[in-house]
Amino acid sequence: MEKIVDTQELAIGMYVKLRSEWIQGTGLAKEFFITDPGQLRQIRNLSLRFGKVFIDPDKKWIPSPIDTMTHPDDLQPVPSANDTSQAPSSSQLRQNLQQAAANTTLSPMEKATAVYDSARSLMQALFASPTAEFIQDSKSAIGSLVDMVLEDDDTANALLKVTSHDFYTYTHSVNVGTLSICLAKKLFRKETGHDMRELGAGFFLHDLGKIRVPLEILNKPGRLDEHEMRRMRIHPFQSFKILQETSQLSEECRIIAMQHHERDDGTGYPLRLRGEEIHVYGRICCIADVYDALTAKRSYKEAMTPFQALSIMRNEMLHHFHKEIFQDFVMLFSKQEKK
């Protein structure tokens, strides 16, 4: 299958197909996976002359583990300490969330709380047991949450208020998923062509690869040493890998998993992309991710208030973000103040 895309939508990892007149004298092949920022720039420059480009969204690129600074040990799954034998099934957790999202008798705040709590339970169970079935049920449940956010402004705003801030990865995933989908709704309200349900799944599952990072590293108070940092920095690749292995990968999920730690000034990881090399989906998730990290309580730091976090992001970290997307993110909260 082929799909025409605007070159601004192109990203590392996509499989492009170029017409003969594009590649004359360029040294580029007719079709290939985009694997580095130089190729991305070259194709964008060519598109100034030739227009839109074809991609094949069915072809999946798996980056070499070496590219992502990994170590063979890092590829071993880390067994979960949680006993899941008594846990509710994935379909039960999916139904709980879907029922909460469809409940018309609750106030927006009650509904938001019920949906948020269901989403946390679902993600907690998913992180303990990321099977294909669980991921499938999670995607379906997240789809219902996304539909609710798109259709119901009051509950969407309430959802932003009920986020909690412990140090668990599954809580972080729900927060980042919620924030990102609200930001995407704001950014894409006049655009078509974004599959918001797939996007929602990508935002919620972006950190799934952390199950392959040892807990003592994930929860270490204070700075990580160089080896620990290397292991931590493979989690975008591992998220991608898990979604790939369980055949639950879409274009949107792949971009989000791989790019949520890239930074606009090129200081992020794993590929040190910069500026326009980072897809808008990756940029959205990056902003939500940083915000949630700042407002979360950790054993070694107090939680910041939303105002403190947004101030630090604007005054000290703005070079990490796309400025206009960040402005839209700030607006999500100013809207809340007026309510």
Residues lying near Fe ion in the complex (CB under 5 A) are found at: 207
Nearer to Fe ion, 99 or 219 (CB): 219
For Fe ion, which is the closer residue by CB, 207 or 277? 207
The Cα–Cα gap between 309 and 129 comes to 32
319-to-52, 101, 113, 267, 315 alpha-carbon distances in Å: 29, 37, 34, 10, 9
Helices (H) and strands (E) in the chain, counts: 15, 4
Select 256 or 304, whichever has its Cβ closest to Fe ion.
256
168 close to 124: Cβ distance less than 8 angstroms: yes
d(CA 60, CA 58): 6
Find the shortest distance in angstroms from Cβ 234 to Fe ion.
11
The residue among 31, 2, 33 whose CA lies nearest residue 19 is 31
- Measured from the CB atom, is 22 or 170 closer to Fe ion? 170
Give residue number: closest CB to Fe ion. Answer: 207
Residue whose CB is less far from Fe ion, 207 or 251: 207
How many angstroms separate the CA atoms of 155 and 69, rounded? 41
At its nearest, how many Å lie between Fe ion and the CB of residue 235?
6
Q: How far is the CB of 253 from Fe ion (least distance, A)?
A: 14
d(CA 253, CA 176): 14
CB 152 → Fe ion: shortest distance, Å?
Answer: 28
- Compute the least distance from the CB of residue 263 to Fe ion, in Å: 12
* Least CB distance to Fe ion at residue 289 (A): 6
> What's 305's DSSP letter?
P
Strand order through the sheet with 31-33:
3-5, 53-55, 15-17, 31-33
| The token pair that represents 45 in the structure block | 């420059």
Amino acid found at 221: P
The residue written with tokens 């997307």 in the block is 325
Interior angle at CA 141, CA 137 and CA 147, nearest 5 = 145
Q: How far is the CB of 249 from Fe ion (least distance, A)?
A: 17
- CA–CA gap between residue 211 and residue 81 (Å, rounded): 11
State the Cα angle at 253 between 160 and 153, rounded to 5°.
Answer: 25
Of residues 74 and 207, the one with the C-beta less far from Fe ion:
207
Q: Taking the complex as a whole, how short is the minimal distance between the CB of residue 15 and Fe ion, in angstroms?
A: 25
Nearer to Fe ion, 145 or 205 (CB): 205
Nearer to Fe ion, 124 or 144 (CB): 124
Cα(108)–Cα(114) distance, integer angstroms? 10
